[in-house]
Structure 1
Amino acid sequence: MSVPERAMLLSVHPRFATAILAGTKTVEVRRQRVAAPPGTPVFLYATSPTKALVGMARIASIQVASPREVWSANRRSVGISRREYDEYMSGAAQASGLALEDPVTFEEPVPITALRESGSFHPPQSYRYLTGEDLRKVTVAAPGAGTVLHGALRHLVSA
């Protein structure tokens, strides 16, 4: 597999971040089309009240289809009830199911305050791609974040 050119920053509720990192939630769903190649690193930003980068995973595959088709293919892996899914997808014409693999919890979460000290940082409502410069800022913001985060960042920044 080739080294991805970019990484993804994905905002998720803390309970979903915990489930992804525990391996019990292996598919994250989004209301819009997501296009990223397999192997793309995904940094998990846990929203309020956590407000921190808490871990990462890699995209194994992405399914883009109708909300009904995405649910049918992934219902046992999305970590939410059908009711929650239907409420979230209400009015959406398509959905994306991001199959995630190789989850890793950071030894120390990187709080939003540290991320903002290294430059402007605005967590996305859903997701966004990170540039090499964005990743360098995370490295500066997270000097004590541990070997997992720094190893991943060094690998991506040098790519």
Structure 2
Amino acid sequence: MNKKISPENILLISVKPEFAEKILRGEKTIELRKSAPKKVDIEDYILIYVTSPVKELWGICKINKIIKDNPVNFWNNHGSKTGVSESQFKSYYKTNKNAFGIELKEIRNFSKFSIELKHLKKAFPTFMPPQTYSYVKRNQINFGILKQILNKIEDKPIFNKGG
């Protein structure tokens, strides 16, 4: 992947509540997708937006790696980290030649201090919940709100002053 384009991008993923809970408990360390994000790379950040009925930002993590493989090999090598059953996995990729996964690390759970959709729109003036994922440019984020929350959950903030 092209590291030159990623430092300014943050990946924003939409996740169903049941899977968000598994991610934040550490039971799901690979987020499945039908296509790979192209504007981010390892060590870049992911914001975890929980879909309806929750409609809140619950966490942040880093990309450990992006995995691409055929569905059979993917399941055999990584199935236990996906947080889904084999039948759910097969159903999701039934018409796909490739399975993609984003391996997550350094997961920070701030669901106790979650950011509701109406507040997200203040922190991210152009925020729209993505269907699967989208990109947020660092300069489009009001980091003040995000920093306040992150400072409540850990000793050192994830984002430094420089962005």
Q: Is TM > 0.5 for Structure 1 vs Structure 2?
A: yes
Structure 2 counterpart of 1:114, which letter? H
Q: Which residue of 2 aligns with 1:151?
A: 157
TM-fit CA distance, 1:104? 0.8
Preserved contact between residue 36 and residue 101 of structure 2 (Cα < 8 Å): no
Q: Distance in 1 between matches of 2:115 and 2:147?
A: 9
Residues 5/133 of structure 1: CA separation in 2 closer, same or farther (3 Å cut): closer
The alignment's C-alpha RMSD in Å is: 2.4
Pairing 1:12–2:15 present: yes
Q: Distance in 2 between matches of 1:111 and 1:141?
A: 12
Match for residue 62 of structure 2 among 58, 61, 76? 58
Identity of aligned residues (%): 26
* Residue ranges of structure 1 left out of the alignment (5+ in a row): none
Normalised by the size of structure 2, how large is the TM-score? 0.82
Pairing 1:77–2:81 present: yes
Aligned ranges 1:69-148 → 2 under 5 Å: 69-106=73-110, 107-118=112-123, 119-136=125-142, 139=143, 145-147=149-151, 148=153
Preserved contact between residue 34 and residue 96 of structure 1 (Cα < 8 Å): no
TM-fit CA distance, 1:79? 0.5
Range with greater deviation from structure 2 (140-149 or 23-32): 140-149
Pairing 1:22–2:25 present: yes
TM-fit CA distance, 1:132? 1.6
TM-fit CA distance, 1:146? 4.4
Residues 76/23 of structure 1: CA separation in 2 closer, same or farther (3 Å cut): same
TM-fit CA distance, 1:49? 1.1
Structure 2 counterpart of 1:59, which letter? I
SS in 1 for 2:84: coil
Q: List 4+ stretches of structure 1 deviating above 4 A.
A: 140-144
Q: Distance in 1 between matches of 2:64 and 2:116?
A: 27
Preserved contact between residue 38 and residue 61 of structure 1 (Cα < 8 Å): yes
Per-residue displacement from partner, 1:96-130 (whole Å, max 9, x unpaired)? 11111111111400111111245232111111121
* Residue ranges of structure 2 left out of the alignment (5+ in a row): 1-5
Structure 1 counterpart of 2:77, which letter? A
SS in 2 for 1:128: strand
TM-fit CA distance, 1:143? 7.7
